[in-house]
Copies of this chain bind each other. A is one copy, B any other.
Amino acid sequence: MNLKIAVLAGDGIGPEVILQAKKALYAISVAYDHEFIFEDALIGATAIEKTRSPLPEQTLNLCLNTDAVLFGAIGNPKYDNNPDAKIRPEQGLLRLRKELGLYANIRPIKPFKNLLDASPIKKEVIENVDFVIFRELTGGSYYGEKVINEEGTFASDICEYSENEINRITHQAFKAAQSRRKKVTLVDKANVLETSRLWRKIVKKIATQYPDVKLECQYIDNVAMQIITDPKQYDVILTENLFGDILSDEACAIMGSIGLMASASIGDKNALFEPIHGSYPQAKGKNIANPIASILSAAMLLQHFGLEKEAKKVYEAVEKAIEYKVVTIDLNPGSRFGTNDVGDFISNVI
C-alpha cells in the first residue's frame, strides 16, 4: 500500500516521540512491502514562533491532501501563564480537527498484562478491562461562541450540539460495539444540561437500529467514579467533547501511564493519529519521554487503512518491549532505557 502521511511533531516531546513512531512505520513498510511517504509540517507553539500562526495554511493544505496525519503534541507553558494571549498553540490543533472534520476521537483502554502493577488501581479491578471511548471532537463548548467583556469581569462559553453532529458519531460507536461486546454507554449530564437531553433523545432513537447492541445512559459524575471502581462494565463509551476529554485522561490511571494511551481522530475524509499525552515540556530533549503512545497511534493508523496484520505486529512489538522491560522511567523508575532505545527496540522487533 502507498500512503502519504503528514507528520506534525509539534511542541515539547512531540518531535522525540514522533520520531519513534516513524521508525516503527518504516520497519513495517520494509517488512510488509508498503510505501509510506512522510512529509513534515509545523503546528502549535513551534509554528507560532516561526510563522505567527498555530496552524499555518501550508500545514492545513498538506493535511487536507494526505492520507493521514501523524501528530505529536501541542502546548507550551509560556502561553498558559498568559491568559491574555490572543494566539495560543492549542488553537492550531482545535482548528485542524475542525477543518479536517475529525468528529470521532477514539481512545482504547486496555491495560497491558505485564503492566497491571503499574496502575495505582488494584490488579483485580483492572485486569481484563477493555473498553474504548468515542469522544465527539468537533462540537460542544470547544467550538461554541466565547465571550469576555471589555473590563474582564464576565466570561461565557456556549456548548452547542446539533442532531447531525450527534448522529454521525453515534453510528460509529454502535458499529464499533457490534464487533465488540455489544454495549454502548452514553455519558451525559441529562439531569442538568439541555445538550445532554438532546444527546440522550437522539442516541436512544438510533439505538433502535442496532437491536443487538445494549444502550445504557449514565451521568458523567457517576461515570467519573465507576471508571475507577468498576471499569469492567464498559465496552464502548460514547460522549461529547469535554466529557470525553476528562474521561479519557482519567482512564489513563487504568493503563498505568499516560505515556501508553493512543488515539485516532476520524472524519469522513481525513484521519489523524496522536498520543493522548501533552507536550510535557519538562522532559523535552531529555530522552526520557515514553514513545509507546505515539507508536501505538501509528498502529491505529495502520488499522484504519485495513492493515490489521501490520497493526498487530506493532502492538506485539510494544508488548515485547514491556515484557523485557525495555521501557522509559515512567514505567520503571530505575530504567536505563531512553526514548530512542525503546523506539529502536520496537522497530527492531518488527
Contact = CB atoms under 8 A, between A and B. Distances in A.
* Copies, count: 2
A62 interface: no
A334 interface: no
A220 interface: yes
A66 B322 CA distance: 61
A220 B160 CA distance: 20
Interface of A: 75, 80, 83-84, 88, 90, 94, 120-122, 125, 141-142, 144, 146-148, 152-164, 189-195, 197-198, 200-201, 217, 220-222, 224-225, 228-230, 242, 245-250, 252-253, 258
Contact of A80 (B160, B190, B201, B246): B190
A157 B194 contact: yes
A154 B160 contact: yes
Nearest to A247: B224
A154 B246 CA distance: 24
A155 B242 contact: no
B224 A156 contact: no
A83 B205 CA distance: 12
A198 B250 contact: no
Q: Which 4 A-B pairs have the closest CB atoms?
A: A221-B249, A224-B250, A155-B198, A146-B194
A156 B258 contact: no
A221 B245 contact: yes
A194 B228 CA distance: 30
Contacts of A141: 159, 192-193
Contact of A156 (B120, B146, B195): B195
16 contacts: A75-B191, A83-B190, A120-B121, A120-B230, A141-B159, A154-B160, A154-B161, A154-B162, A156-B158, A159-B159, A221-B246, A221-B248, A222-B249, A224-B247, A224-B250, A228-B253
A74 to B, nearest CB: 9
Contacts of A80: 190-191, 217
A160 B149 CA distance: 12
A228 to B, nearest CB: 4
B121 A200 contact: no
Nearest to A192: B142
Contacts of A221: 245-246, 248-250
Contacts of A160: 154-156
A121 B258 CA distance: 17
A45 to B, nearest CB: 12
A75 B161 CA distance: 25
A245 B221 CA distance: 6
A213 to B, nearest CB: 18
Given A221-B250, A222-B249, 5 more contacts: A88-B191, A120-B122, A120-B229, A152-B163, A221-B249
A228 B225 contact: no
